[in-house]
Amino acid sequence: MVDPVAQRRARLARLAGAGQRTGYLALLVAVVAFFWALLASFPAGATTIVAVSMTVATVTLAPAIVLGYAVKAAQREDDERPG
């Protein structure tokens, strides 16, 4: 028998993982673009990439981290519960 709570938790864990990967990748792009902009005297395209990448990282990474911790806490609570 399949536990619907476990299925939903696994789906949310996958979503959190995808959000974290996306957010950290966007953060990496922002850092690389910033140093590129620094070396190239801040061209408009580079600063746009930094701004957009930081926005994507902020929008995706923070909720994904919180969701990941929530899933882990729920799993830990279920594991510790007798029964």
Q: List pLDDT tens digits, range 44-68.
A: 999 999 999 999 999 999 999 999 9
As a whole number of angstroms, the distance between CA 66 and CA 82 comes to: 26
pTM of the entire structure?
0.86
How do the residues of the chain divide into helix, strand and coil, expressed in percent and rounded to 5? 90, 0, 10
**Predicted pLDDT at 1:** 80
As a whole number of angstroms, the distance between CA 49 and CA 57 comes to: 12
Q: Are 28 and 54 in contact (CB under 8 A)?
A: no
Count CB-CB contacts under 10 A for residue 60.
20
Tell me the pLDDT band of 83, cut-offs 50, 70 and 90.
low
Q: List pLDDT tens digits, range 7-19.
A: 999 999 999 999 9
